[in-house]
Structure 1
Amino acid sequence: MKNDFNSFLVIVFIIYCLLEFRSANRCFNSPHFLSQWTDVEAQRTRKPITLEHECGDFPAKVEIQIRPKTGNWTNFYFPGIGSSQRDDDRNETYGGIVYKYNKDEVVLIIPGVNDGYSSGTIIYTGASTWRGPVAQNESRAQVRTLVWCPGDLPDTSYESQWIPFNNSGKGSFLEIPHNQGNFPDLITVQIRQEGTEWLSDGIGSMSALKPDTSTSWGGVIYGYNRSHVRVWAPYRKNGQLFSANDGWGSATELWSRGLVRIKSWKVTNMHYVTTQLNQNSNQELSLNTIYNQNEDLMIVRVLADNGYNKGFLFPASGAVQNDDSMSPYGGVIYSASSDTLRIWTPVLSGSRYLIYINDDWGNSMYPQTSKSAKLLIQIWKSSTCAMSTAPSVTTSTSNNLQSSDPNSANQQKSNQAQTSKLSSASSVIPAAVGGSLLFLAVSGAVVAIVLWKKYRRNRVVGETKEEG
């Protein structure tokens, strides 16, 4: 009986050590919440759709998947968009499903006429000013939501505090050091509406259609390189941090002020594909792996290869909101099946770009007009694990952060001064905690092995005595 009890203690101790090791090196898990497919129809689904995700905390990552209801391409899913850049004032087609979320719910907002034209649809890949593998314009579709709670992702390698942000002057631009010394595998930029717990996600390019002071449009653009994250908000022509108003059913969302939080992750065993983007680039790519659309996370980014933001990655999008032949705009649209990625890009003539940030954004800091770039597709598979080493805290001052903009130096110094303390604390604390837990796990494993060997030796001695 005594030997059995000792054996039980050893097994319990080993399990404890394994659990402690997992907490120091957590893996990327399947989403905590995966909704059912819901039928939606532009111009008819007037009220936003509300889904309870059951995290009880702000989600770490929210993904919206949109697919045609019928036809040959129901296996290709488009992502949702973090903010509308269109309203119904002009009789020109726009698409997408806008979303926001809090600690309990995700809200999906569908295009629907307010006082203008019923030109909003759900899936839209543009007309003659966009190029892609197929042309899609779907007013009927199905949508579902995937939500990863904080415990479903590895520990962050960097996390800022909530930073004040608004749509006027210097308050509309941020440059935050993430101190990784290399590209993070995932960056999220969450925007929190002032005075509430509602969040939206950042976007990657401007696609507003001739905005003016009477137009409802908005969004927060972000990009990141090996050392910094840059964040732009519109600061002129009525641009908002988040917009879903006047052409989005019964929604009347316009956020002018709020807070921004940045998180980053680094993992191992990630699958990725890259390709060059230009006027003649491929419009369909093999993923060379199986992407499980129910569990895995796909991250699609566009790498600027010139301009003020050379070396910065910007997120791709899920719907065309501007295809006017006379209006400047930019962006890269994508959809994915389990083994293939489809890409839509503007026809790169005139004022159309892969990445576009004009002087209406971020106090006119670091504008961008890219007609060539590189596309990076990353797939985090369920059970992909985090880096076991502590995050790098080396500060980079590489040349790609410098520009000829005479205002850039003062702005950069101001933003770095505001955030240097935040970034140091956010990096050192996870490293210390993770290192302690890892040491505990290794020590526990050694003790467990010693106890197990002692138990085996005592058992052999006891059996020998009984035989004698």
Structure 2
Amino acid sequence: MSNLGDNLLVKDLYMYDRLLKMRYCFICICFSDFRVSSRCFNKPHFLSQWTDVEAQRTRKPVTLEHECGDFPAKVEIQVRPKTGNWTNFYFPGIGSSQRDDDRNKTYGGIVYKYNKDEVVLFIPGANDGYSSGTIIYTGASTWRGPVAQRESRAQVRTLVWCPGDLPSPSHQSQWIPFNNSGIGSFLEIPHNQGTFPDLITVQIRQEGTEWLSDGIGSMSALKPDSTTSWGGVIYGYNRSHVRVWAPYRKNGKLFSADDGWGSSTESWSRGLVRIKSWKVTNMHYVTTQLNQNSNNELPLNTVYNQNEDFMIVKVLADNGNNKGFLFPASGAVQNDDGMSAYGGVVYAASRDTLRIWTPVLSGSRYLIYINDDWGNSMYPQTSISAKLLIQIWRSTTCAASTAPLATPSTSINQKSSKSVSTTSTSINSQTSNSNLKSNQAQSSKLSTTSPVVPAAVGGSLLLLAVSGAVVAVVLWKKYRRNRVVSETKEEG
């Protein structure tokens, strides 16, 4: 009888232990899922070490494993000078090269692509032409800015936010076919927000692969022709739509890191495009007017944590075919030819200051430039005045509670969209209008809105805890009952 009782006790204790472990495991999984389903912005999942790179010497692409196991929601490349007075100012990477080494004109930047496992960085390096590529370049006499920088040696690192590190997007499109030929080189995609999203991502996927690149904001290609290697996907968005342009003539590609980018010979002609949009709360932002005389060094009036925070710099077109559309700024000058048409806004940020470089606005140089070589000649743009919007997302930045999660959109306007009227220059959504108009050249205060924890998750955790307690009580009673039965049999 004693052996029988011991066996019962051992068996019950084993079951009790297993159920408790399952309960704790379930709780851990639930907390893990809470992070995935969080409505707030988290620190980057992956923050690489600083890596030394040198133009013309770092011949092979630099590969970094980000460990998402899925397509990242956002990738940021930070480039800083290795020595000198401005090592605290970081330049962003760029989504595609618009230059090769065929002409002896300086260009700069680090181009990147990524997939579910890796981020790959392409460093300037001559292939069969001139060794004129650098890592950091802010232009010569045809660009204006706070300082002139040309750095062949620099350091670079990568920040990667996995899908669970950002709030769930309020809208996400399907993967839409896109190419560099005729009507297929322009898309107009609704984002269904009814107001300006705080963040739009435009990801381009190479056809037949899992490699992604990011969109850019303006054309700076240097007189491209049928033998030039250049590319990129320009995008801008207003309160209702995202417009996307690809080069459709003169050998332009969706993505290029070819001929002038070390040993790389990579370019994409066909692919897929996906857009995501977010609306958030408690975000810090600064706005200013851009023109020939605008300030090129702006105080952020807050502390920008370059290890954790996410900065977005955008340019608002206040005239032209894309009036009221926002375009992303860039991270390097790739064209400073005084006889060439080009455009763009380049920036670098420290913990408390943003520096901007803009073309000298004379001749054919613009803040936003899209010529007839893009998007089947749909909606070309030449802006010599615009507004600059700087946004900083911190780890407490949360999705707006009123933003609905829209279903994937399949509505796309292409050539017929020419009849669609553009919106006005003012950002007049409920949360952005008054702030943007009253804070040109000034910083707004950081909202004190607290992060909101989804009630459903909290309720699930409470229910799980109560259920676990009930299971524990039942098992303990069973254990006591079996113990009494065992002791009674032993006494008998």
Shorter-chain TM range is 0.7 to 0.9
1:350 corresponds to: 363
Residue 339 (structure 1) aligned with residue 339 (structure 2) = no
Decide whether the 8 Å contact of 1:175 with 1:412 is kept in 2.
no
Aligned to 1:328: 341
Q: TM-score scaled to structure 1, two decimals?
A: 0.82
Structure 2 residue aligned with 1:236, among 249, 262, 274? 249
Matched, 1:102 2:115: yes
Q: 1:440 aligns with which of 431, 435, 456?
A: 456
Partner of 2:372: 359
Aligned residue among 86, 108, 115 for 1:73: 86
Write the deviation string for residues 230-270 of structure 1: whole angstroms up to 9, x where unpaired: 00000000000000100000000110000001011111000
Aligned pairs, number: 408
1:84-138 CA distance string (max 9 Å, x none):
0000000000000000000000000000000010000010000000000000000
1:168 corresponds to 2:181? yes
Cα distance between partner residues in 2 of 1:146 and 1:14: 29
Aligned to 2:62: 49
2:397 maps to 384
Shift of 1:383: 2.6
Q: Does 1:183 align with 2:183?
A: no
CA distance in 1 between counterparts of 2:457 and 2:60 reads: 51
Alignment of 1:408-447 (within 5 A): 409=416, 438=454, 440-441=456-457
* Structure 1, 221-230 or 17-26: larger mean CA deviation: 17-26
Q: How does 1:23-62 map to 2 (within 5 A)?
A: 25-62=38-75
Give, in angstroms, the shift of residue 21 of structure 1.
7.4
Shift of 1:387: 1.5
1:98 corresponds to which letter in structure 2? V
Instruction: State the shift of 1:390 in Å.
Output: 3.8
Residue 59 of structure 1 deviates from its aligned partner by 0.4
Aligned equivalent of 1:431: none
Question: Aligned ranges for residues 96-245 of structure 1 at < 5 Å?
Answer: 96-245=109-258
Q: Distance in 2 between matches of 1:96 and 1:370?
A: 23
Q: Could you tell me which residue of structure 1 aligns to residue 310 of structure 2?
A: 297
Aligned 8 A contact 2:172 2:406 in 1: no
Contact 1:179 1:392 in 2 (8 A): no
| TM-align CA RMSD | 2.6
- Could you say which structure has the larger radius of gyration? 2
Q: 2: distance between equivalents of 1:201 and 1:19? A: 29
Contact 1:81 1:98 in 2 (8 A): yes
**Any gaps of 5 or more consecutive residues in structure 1?**
1-7, 395-401, 414-436, 452-468
**Structure 1 residues 443, 145: CA separation in 2 closer, same or farther (over 3 Å shift)?**
closer
1:284 and 2:297 aligned: yes
SS at match of 1:223: strand
What does the per-residue CA deviation read over 1:403-455, in whole Å, with 9 as the maximum and x for residues that have no partner? xxxx9545678xxxxxxxxxxxxxxxxxxxxxxx956357669989x99xxxx
Distance 1:333 1:312 in 2: 18
Once the two structures are TM-superposed, the CA of residue 145 in structure 1 deviates from its matched residue by 0.4
1:440 aligned partner, one-letter code: A
SS in structure 2 at match of 1:126: coil
CA deviation map 1:310-352 (0-9, x unaligned): 0000000000000000000000000000000000000000000
Identify if the C-alpha distance between structure 1 residues 107 and 446 changes in structure 2 by more than 3 Å, giving closer, same or farther: closer
How many Å separate the matches in 2 of 1:54 and 1:445? 28
Instruction: Give secondary structure in 2 for the equivalent of 1:235.
Output: coil
- Structure 2 residue matching 1:28: 3-state secondary structure: coil
Alpha-carbon spacing, 1:198–1:392, altered in 2? closer, same or farther (3 Å): closer
Q: What SS does structure 2 have at the residue aligned with 1:440?
A: helix
Name stretches of at least 5 consecutive residues in structure 2 with no aligned partner.
1-19, 408-412, 421-452, 468-492
Q: Is 1:202–1:220's contact at 8 Å kept on the other side of the alignment?
A: yes
Q: Distance in 2 between matches of 1:187 and 1:238?
A: 28
> What is the match of residue 410 of structure 2?
none
Deviations along 1:141-183, one digit per CA (max 9) or x if unpaired, are 0000000000000000110111000000000000000010111
Q: Is the 8 A contact 2:145 2:296 kept in 1?
A: yes
Shift in alpha-carbon separation, 1:177–1:197, aligned structure 2, 3 A: same
**AA paired with 2:102?**
D
State how far apart, in whole Å, the 2-side matches of 1:207 and 1:63 are: 21
**Structure-1 separation of matches of 2:29 and 2:337:** 61
Partner of 1:434: none
CA distance in 2 between counterparts of 1:253 and 1:182 reads: 37
Task: Indicate conservation of the 8 Å contact 1:25/1:387, yes or no.
Answer: no
CA–CA distance in structure 2, aligned partners of residues 173 and 412 of structure 1: 14
Aligned partner of residue 314 in structure 1, secondary structure: strand
C-alpha separation in 2, matches of 1:393 and 1:47 = 42
Off by >6 Å, runs of 4+ in structure 1: 12-23, 444-448
Query: Aligned partners of 2:249, 2:122: CA distance in 1, in Å?
Result: 25
Cα displacement (A) at 1:24: 5.5
Query: Corresponding residue for 2:104?
Result: 91
Identify the residue that residue 424 of structure 1 maps to in structure 2.
Answer: none
Q: Distance in 1 between matches of 2:295 and 2:417?
A: 41
Query: What residue is the counterpart of 2:439 in the other structure?
Result: none
CA distance in 2: counterparts of 1:188 and 1:320, whole angstroms: 22
Secondary structure of the 2:183 match is: helix
Q: SS state of the match for residue 170, structure 1?
A: helix
SS of residue matched to 2:168: coil
TM normalised by structure 2 equals 0.78
Q: Distance in 2 between matches of 1:136 and 1:238?
A: 30
What letter is aligned with 1:331?
G
Shift of 1:392: 7.8
Query: In the superposition, relative to structure 1, how do residues 127 and 155 fare at CA in structure 2: closer, same or farther (>3 Å)?
Result: same
